[in-house]
Amino acid sequence: MFSWDDPGDRVAIAQLNSELRNAHLELLSAHCATHQLRLRYSMDDLARFGQRDVLRKSVQAASALSEYYASLEKTIVNQEPSAPLAASGQLSPELLAEAAHCVAAYLREERERYYPSSEPLSEHHKTRLRPYFTSELLDRIRVVELMGVRVAPPSFYERARALGITNLPQLAHMDSLTFLDVIVFNETLQMRALFHGLVHAVQFAILGVERYTELFVRAFAHTSLHVTVPLEAHAFNLESRFARRPPETFWVADEVLSWYEGGRYER
Ligand SMILES: [Zn+2]
Distance 178 CA to ligand 1 centre (A): 8
8 A C-beta contact, residue 201 and residue 138: no
pLDDT at 15: 57
Q: Give the phi and the psi of residue 182 in degrees, each rounded to 5.
A: -115, 120
Share of the chain above pLDDT 70, in %: 86
Q: Is the pLDDT of residue 21 over 80?
A: no
124: CA distance to ligand 1 center in Å?
23
Q: Tell whether the model's pLDDT for residue 80 goes beyond 70.
A: no
* 159 Cα: distance to centroid of ligand 1 (angstroms): 23
Question: Pick from 146, 141, 144: which is nearest to 126 by CA?
Answer: 141
Mean pLDDT for the stretch of residues 20-31? 74
Q: How far is CA 134 from CA 18, 86, 252, 254, in A?
A: 31, 37, 9, 11
Q: CB–CB of 120/142 below 8 Å? A: yes
Collapse the DSSP code of 177 into the 3-class scheme (helix H, G, I; strand E, B; otherwise coil) and give the result: strand
pLDDT, residue 32, reads 63
The rounded Å distance from CA 1 to ligand 1 centre is 32
| Residue 67 CA, ligand 1 centroid: distance in Å | 29
Q: Distance between CA atoms of 267 and 230, rounded to whole angstroms?
A: 8
- Which range scores top for mean pLDDT: 14-23, 37-46, 62-71, 239-248? 239-248
User: Rounded to the nearest whole angstrom, what is the distance from the C-alpha of residue 13 to the centroid of ligand 1?
Assistant: 23
Q: How remote is the C-alpha of 185 from its chain's centroid?
A: 15
50 C-beta neighbours (distance < 10 Å), count: 14
199: CA distance to ligand 1 center in Å? Answer: 8
Section 101-122 average pLDDT: 96
The pLDDT of residue 233 is: 93
Please tell me the distance between residue 198's alpha carbon and the centre of ligand 1 in angstroms: 9
User: How far does residue 6's CA lie from ligand 1's centre (Å)?
Assistant: 32
Angstrom CA distances, 33 to 8, 63, 237, 240, 252, stand at 38, 16, 9, 12, 17
How far is the centre of ligand 1, averaged over its atoms, from the C-alpha of 228 (Å)? 11
C-alpha 244 to ligand 1 mean position (Å) = 18
* Residue 114 confidence class, pLDDT cut points 50, 70, 90: very high
pLDDT band at 109 (very low <50, low <70, confident <90, very high): very high
> 235 C-alpha vs ligand 1 centroid, how far in Å?
6
Please count the residues of the chain. 267
Lowest mean pLDDT among 5-19, 105-119, 129-143, 208-222: 5-19
Distance 190 CA to ligand 1 centre (A): 14
Burial of residue 147, with CB atoms counted within 10 A of its CB: 0-12 exposed, 13-18 middle, 19 or more buried: exposed
What distance in angstroms lies between residue 49's CA and the mean position of ligand 1's atoms? Answer: 37
Ramachandran category for residue 164: left, alpha or beta (phi over 0 → left; psi -120 to 50 → alpha): left
Q: How far is the CA of 121 from the centre of ligand 1 (A)?
A: 19
Least confident range of 103-107, 209-213, 243-247: 243-247
Residue of higher predicted confidence among 29 and 161: 161
* Domain spans of the chain, in order of start: 7-75, 93-261
CA 44 to ligand 1 centroid distance, Å: 36
Residue 180 C-alpha to ligand 1 middle, in angstroms?
12
Q: Half-sphere exposure (CA, 13 Å, Cβ side) for 193?
A: 18
Residues 224 and 82 sit within 8 Å (Cβ to Cβ): yes
Ligand 1: centre distance to CA 74 (Å): 29
